[in-house]
Structure 1
């Protein structure tokens, strides 16, 4: 099980995604915890590292946790992605580890890994992702 957290940022029916350098797919911003970090600590650190913004801890809210086959990992590997919304301060900008940032619609679903596709499906059914 690969344990991750992700920042779900929706604006005008689109979701924020980022493509790390050297990767062929986009991901919901976030990543793996380091040591004994909490979900909140991991989320704040990862988003700052990837997108150069600071999440506001008092606005963080759990959306859901999704599980699916891990992209580009050994067969049978599963990703668990705890998803959170949050407001932020600063200007969104790709960091040195991010090649590209994009706002995706539901039609872009095939450009993200399986666990992100499950999130896309859920948000689309709820009318939050166009």
Structure 2
């Protein structure tokens, strides 16, 4: 087979969950697919540094905490013929975030609700299954 090698984009992405069992998904301006907040690594930039920078730009605040979840690959959502190689982090954000920079909209959705949205492959194939595992092991919030 004589296929050209696909370009690979190196990104850092955030799995952000709230206390109500929802996942934060964002859609960038001029695109239709929902995905995680985050973005491309600059040359030589560590994934954690890139994610802190991207979250500050896209959501208006730096993260409170980051926990590495691993590395994943999938077809790129907005760049035909490209793959993404993503460093995924479980992220805690301050309570009030808002779309900024290139983010057109953000949605807090359950993993089931997310399945009805047009999703990036990374989100559909890797992030949502991880989110469901985290949510299954959470203890319900106290109502007191």
Bin for the TM-score computed over the shorter chain: 0.7 to 0.9
Of stretches 88-97 and 24-33 in structure 1, the one that deviates more from structure 2 is 88-97
**Which of 5, 15, 20 lines up with 2:23 in the alignment?**
15
Aligned to 1:4: 11
Aligned to 1:87: 92
Structure 1 residues not aligned, in runs of 5+: none
Deviation at 1:91, TM superposition (A): 2.4
**Superposed, which structure 2 residues align to 1:85-124 within 5 Å?**
85-89=90-94, 91-107=96-112, 108-109=114-115, 110-118=117-125, 119-124=127-132
Query: TM-score when scaled to structure 1?
Result: 0.84
Aligned to 2:75: 69
Task: Please identify runs of 4+ aligned residues in structure 1 that moved more than 6 A.
Answer: none
Q: Distance in 2 between matches of 1:103 and 1:19?
A: 12
Greater C-alpha radius of gyration? 2
After superposition, give the CA deviation of every residue in 1:25-48 in whole Å (9 maximum; x if it has no partner): 111000001122111110010001
1:55 maps onto 2:63 in alignment: yes
Counting matched residue pairs gives 125
Change (3 A) 1:72 1:18: closer
Structure 2 residues not aligned, in runs of 5+: 1-7, 137-144
Change (3 A) 1:90 1:52: farther
Change (3 A) 1:54 1:122: closer
